[in-house]
């Protein structure tokens, strides 16, 4: 155990010395391992040695300060400590009785988070693994409310009396919303992708028109999913206006704030998420931008009883307990087992404090704005979308044919990522391939961002 702790500490100290993307070919790691399991026990020192030589060098290093792809994440030291202790306790907090401290700590720490982002006191939190699951649970609760629980009892198959249930999200919404409607049996064809404006935000007029069209066709709208921090550009849908549509049509409003929700701990960024308080449910991922190790996604609900109504069952006799007024976490989703995720989030908030977390988010956003200024000042490059937080979409622009420009940007991306010190990602906006630089790792400093920019500029010159 002590050696493992030393390995983690050494890794975090030296992670920046690795290339972000490992120099490994597909199948190479597996080929270095035995095809069959060992018949006899092996010493733990041997296992740790293999970890050090076969695993650690051959992962994509999400904890690397040069990781600026997707949405950068950080396993901070306090969070890793909390995760380690939770693994040692090995608690299954399915019931209050099977995990009194984990249950009550989850209630406490999610309420701390609610306070930090400025949601009203009635909201209650529930920790899941990812935003994909949190959003699916929210849409399940919306389905339950819209049908009065009828779908829970009778299902949806073969029912002439049940109209198609429709969900609305922007063209820029995350694919997890597509997967949620598929998984819940609503049907992918009943997810309406609402057009966006020039800043990649949901068009409120198009939303209203889509709902009206479905209503005239005899369909039953049940939910709107707005996004606060879209995956491609980090644009924020007009939450207050969308909430007005949801209220008028009596639809559930879920806000996917998996990325940008964390920025709301800073009052100046909270203003960019105006209307968040009108949602029925909000998801944000502390494992994205609050330095908590994967996985930790918080679903905040205006009325948690609606989620419980969708999933709670009278349990088997073995699961019946007599404690009055307690929360049994198994009642708020399909899973019975519950990991002790609250511990690492509790450690992170306490170790950094709200002010420390705010300072780091502000520093990331300031670095992103500085990077955007470098792009604007450089001939042959352009900014491609608003950048209100810590993500910048940009591209090399030559004035040539669209296909040629797209090819150039793809080649620049491949060249930069092959170099080793940084890792960027891309997005497609309309017919344009754009490059994305996201700052979210607690170890990322100005020098790392400057290295990324120099690599981009050098790649364009070579290509």
Mapping DSSP to helix (H, G, I), strand (E, B) and coil, where does residue 298 land? strand
- Say how far apart CA 452 and CA 434 lie, in whole Å: 15
Query: Exposed/middle/buried for 50, CB within 10 Å: 0-12, 13-18, 19+?
Result: middle
Query: Which residue numbers in the chain have pLDDT < 70?
Result: 316-318
What pLDDT shows up at residue 256?
Answer: 98
What pLDDT shows up at residue 72?
Answer: 77
What pLDDT shows up at residue 394?
Answer: 98
The CA-CA-CA angle for residues 106, 107, 108, to 5°, reads 90
What pLDDT shows up at residue 321?
Answer: 76
Dump the DSSP string for 334-394.
Answer: S-S----THHHHHHHHHHHHHHHHHHHHHHHHHHHHHHHHHHHHSTTEEE-S--SSSEEEE
The distance from CA 304 to its chain's CA centroid, rounded to whole angstroms, is 21
Q: What are the backbone dihedrals phi and psi of residue 249, each rounded to the nearest 5 degrees, phi first? A: -95, 0
Which residues have CB under 8 Å from 179's CB, separation 6+? 132, 136
CA atoms 435, 440, 441, 444: torsion sign: positive
- Say how far apart CA 232 and CA 269 lie, in whole Å: 19
What pLDDT shows up at residue 325?
Answer: 86
What pLDDT shows up at residue 70?
Answer: 95
DSSP-based helix, strand, coil % in the chain, nearest 5: 50, 15, 35
DSSP 56: G
Q: Output the CA torsion 233→236→241→243 (10° steps).
A: 120
Which residues have CB under 8 Å from 417's CB, separation 6+? 20, 21, 423, 424
Dump the DSSP string for 111-169.
Answer: HHHHHHHT--TT-EEEEES-HHHHHHHHHHHHHHHHTTTHHHHH-STT-TTSPPEEEEE
What pLDDT shows up at residue 458?
Answer: 97
Tokens of 159: 């029912």
Q: Kindly give the pairing relationship between strand 281-284 and strand 297-301.
A: antiparallel
195 in Cβ contact with 227 (< 8 Å): no
What pLDDT shows up at residue 317?
Answer: 64
DSSP 18: S
- Say how far apart CA 188 and CA 172 lie, in whole Å: 16
| Single pTM value for the model | 0.96
- Say how far apart CA 458 and CA 455 lie, in whole Å: 5
């Amino acid at each position: 155990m002590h050696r493992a702790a030393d390995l983690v500490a050494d890794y975090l100290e030296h992670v920046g010395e690795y290339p972000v993307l490992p120099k490994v070919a597909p199948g190479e790691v597996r080929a270095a391992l035995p095809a069959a399991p060992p018949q006899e026990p092996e010493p733990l020192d041997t296992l740790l040695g293999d970890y050090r030589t076969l695993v650690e060098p051959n992962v994509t290093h999400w904890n690397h300060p040069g990781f600026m792809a997707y949405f950068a994440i950080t396993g901070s030291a306090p969070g890793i400590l909390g995760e380690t202790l939770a693994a040692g306790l090995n608690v299954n907090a399915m019931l209050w009785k099977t995990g009194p401290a984990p249950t009550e700590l989850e209630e406490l720490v999610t309420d701390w988070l609610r306070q930090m982002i400025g949601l009203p006191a009635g909201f209650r939190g529930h920790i899941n693994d990812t935003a994909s699951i949190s959003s699916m649970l929210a849409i399940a609760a919306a389905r339950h409310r819209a049908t009065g629980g009828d779908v829970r009892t009778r299902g949806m198959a073969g029912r002439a009396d049940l109209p198609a249930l429709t969900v609305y999200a922007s063209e820029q919404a995350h694919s997890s919303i597509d997967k949620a409607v598929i998984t819940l049996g609503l049907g992918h064809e009943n997810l309406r992708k609402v057009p966006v404006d020039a800043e990649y935000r949901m068009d409120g007029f198009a939303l209203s028109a889509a709902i009206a069209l479905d209503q005239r066709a005899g369909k039953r709208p049940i939910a709107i999913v707005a996004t606060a921090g879209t995956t491609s550009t980090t644009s924020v849908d007009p939450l207050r206006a969308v909430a007005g549509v949801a209220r008028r049509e009596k639809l559930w409003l879920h806000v996917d704030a998996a990325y940008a929700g964390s920025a709301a701990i800073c009052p100046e960024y909270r203003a960019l998420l105006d209307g968040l308080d009108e949602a029925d449910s909000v998801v944000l991922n502390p494992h994205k931008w609050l330095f908590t190790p994967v996985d930790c996604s918080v679903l905040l609900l205006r009325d948690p009883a609606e989620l419980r109504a969708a999933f709670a069952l009278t349990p088997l006799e073995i699961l019946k307990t007599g404690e009055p007024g307690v929360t049994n976490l198994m009642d708020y989703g399909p899973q019975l087992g519950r990991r002790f995720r609250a511990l690492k989030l509790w450690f992170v908030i306490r170790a950094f404090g709200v002010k420390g977390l705010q300072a780091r988010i502000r520093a990331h956003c300031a670095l992103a704005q500085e990077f955007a200024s470098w792009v604007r000042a450089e001939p042959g490059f352009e900014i491609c979308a608003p950048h209100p937080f810590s993500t910048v979409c940009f591209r090399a622009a030559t004035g040539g044919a669209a296909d040629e420009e797209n090819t150039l940007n793809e080649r620049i991306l491949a060249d930069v990522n092959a170099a080793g010190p940084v890792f960027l990602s891309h997005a497609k906006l309309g017919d344009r391939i754009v490059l994305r630089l996201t700052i979210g790792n607690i170890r990322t400093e100005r020098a790392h961002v400057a290295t990324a920019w120099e690599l981009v500029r050098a790649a364009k010159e070579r290509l």
